Chains A and B, each alone.
Chain A
């Protein structure tokens, strides 16, 4: 795909984030969509392409009153929206549609109008993982951590520092769920969830949503907001069974999606001003820094513990506070994208001065899937 041919011209989250007891999941989709449409200065009838995950495109399109000529229901977990951005950019370039709306919403905390997740007993996960006591992401996502730590000499304190640094970013963000400062000791003394991870190393559980609007870069200059260009994209999947990953020392999906996006954008790591790495749990930024090639895996824990990713550090990472402190409805990828767009527009609560290139890296379904988007505000 050619770089900078498609731009984000509308971006918004739900009016409220956190605990939203007065709206169903479907209504949260609509709330985010209507906010993004207003942000772009568009009418609903201008939308001719639509993508969403978990909920079906037909469900959300009908509820909103959208009549699309292109839809994408790719649903591979929390990074689905990175894949939607990539697919939408390709569709716009191919002339299949002109203006794409991507929505995410989840009543992750209040559970209103949310389909229950279940694992069929005759699926491979149901036969070969569920009988051993896996029960939700906290019992599955951290399974590779101990091997990763042993291979690369990563310490518990370094993994705790991920949560500490992200809380520093969250403190600057009025919409962040958790803003009080924490220390490494606080993290290591918080309640055990699934050893080696404690409560403060696990994502929040909240309600909310977000939406993006994409169109061609040529049209983007006529919109009210500063366009944010899609500079590079990548995606991949590996396995829905965490036990069947090729290795626990890296993520194959990360190592495929990340470099694809860098190559397409034609950038080097030193060009990256701002970075988002989907942090459902505290190990993901370490996997991301290594798999995306920022540094050897052995250095990732020390890099974060030494403060390089905190406010004022040389590689600002997860500047909204991340899934650990900002919000996490269950499929966090949309909020990482929203923060990248805010940073490129120059309107983030914790704005990185003069940031021109933002890399937004997502993970889905434990390590099942990955999507990476490189954004820029210069064409």
Chain B
């Protein structure tokens, strides 16, 4: 029997650009052309002012650790506990859930507000996940 795999996202027409972006090594966000609001998760209109005129852009990939848990049990398929489930606040404003790599999964190492930068973890030919690591320097 195959090892249980971590949950695989399945893109929709509204989110395909995001997953195309991660595959190309870019974290893509959307900005409203009318009110300049930057938002996530993807949708073809602005959740702040309802304008349908929105643009996709490459985000800086920089942010900070907003909050997290270190999950011990039960562990999700494809994960070895303990592992941190984090929420990252991006410099552009939106927050996203992620994992923190290249860092011990401990309360001591995972300091709130620590600077983070995006990295990309290829799951298969279709899906590359954005994850974050402590920022260098």
Contact = CB atoms under 8 A, between A and B. Distances in A.
A229 interface: no
Interface stretch (A69-77, A81-89, A116-124): A116-124
Contact of B76 (A134, A145, A241): A134
A371 B112 CA distance: 31
A91 B74 CA distance: 42
A128 B85 CA distance: 12
A148 to B, nearest CB: 8
Contacts of A353: none
Contacts of B40: 244
Given A121-B8, A131-B7, 10 more contacts: A122-B10, A127-B9, A135-B75, A139-B71, A140-B85, A143-B85, A145-B69, A146-B67, A192-B70, A244-B41
Interface string A99-126: 0000000000000000000011110101
Given A131-B7, A132-B99, A139 B69 contact: yes
B9 A139 contact: no
A65 interface: no
Contacts, number: 122
Interface residues of A, number: 38
A143 B98 CA distance: 12
A135 B41 contact: no
Contact of A135 (B8, B11, B71): B71
A136 B76 CA distance: 9
A122 B12 contact: yes
A143 B9 contact: no
Interface of A: 119-122, 124, 126-136, 138-140, 142-147, 150, 191-197, 241-244, 248
B45 interface: no
A136 B69 CA distance: 13
A191 B67 CA distance: 21
B55 interface: no
Contacts of B67: 143-147, 248
B88 to A, nearest CB: 9
29 contacts: A120-B10, A121-B10, A122-B9, A122-B11, A124-B41, A126-B10, A127-B11, A127-B12, A127-B15, A127-B41, A131-B7, A131-B8, A132-B129, A133-B71, A135-B74, A135-B79, A138-B74, A139-B69, A139-B71, A139-B76, A143-B69, A144-B67, A146-B112, A191-B72, A191-B73, A193-B72, A242-B87, A243-B96, A248-B87
B6 interface: yes
A150 B73 CA distance: 24
B71 to A, nearest CB: 5
Contacts of A241: 41, 97
Instruction: Return the 8 tightest CB-CB contacts between A and B, nearest first.
Output: A135-B76, A130-B7, A195-B70, A147-B67, A127-B9, A243-B97, A121-B10, A122-B10
Contact of B97 (A134, A147, A248): A134
B44 to A, nearest CB: 14
Contacts of A243: 87, 95-97
Contacts of B76: 130, 133-135, 139
Q: How large is the interface on B (under 10, 10 to 19, 20 to 34, 35 or more residues)?
A: 35 or more
B104 interface: no
A242 B10 CA distance: 20
A73 to B, nearest CB: 26
Contact of B66 (A124, A132, A133, A147): A147
Given A135-B74, A139-B71, A139-B85, A147 B7 contact: no
A101 to B, nearest CB: 35
B112 A128 contact: no
Contact of A134 (B72, B85, B129): B85
A129 B76 CA distance: 12
A127 B72 CA distance: 22
Contacts of A195: 69-70, 72, 82, 107
Interface string B1-17: 00000111111100100
Nearest to B100: A132
Interface string B40-80: 11000000000000000000000000111111111111110
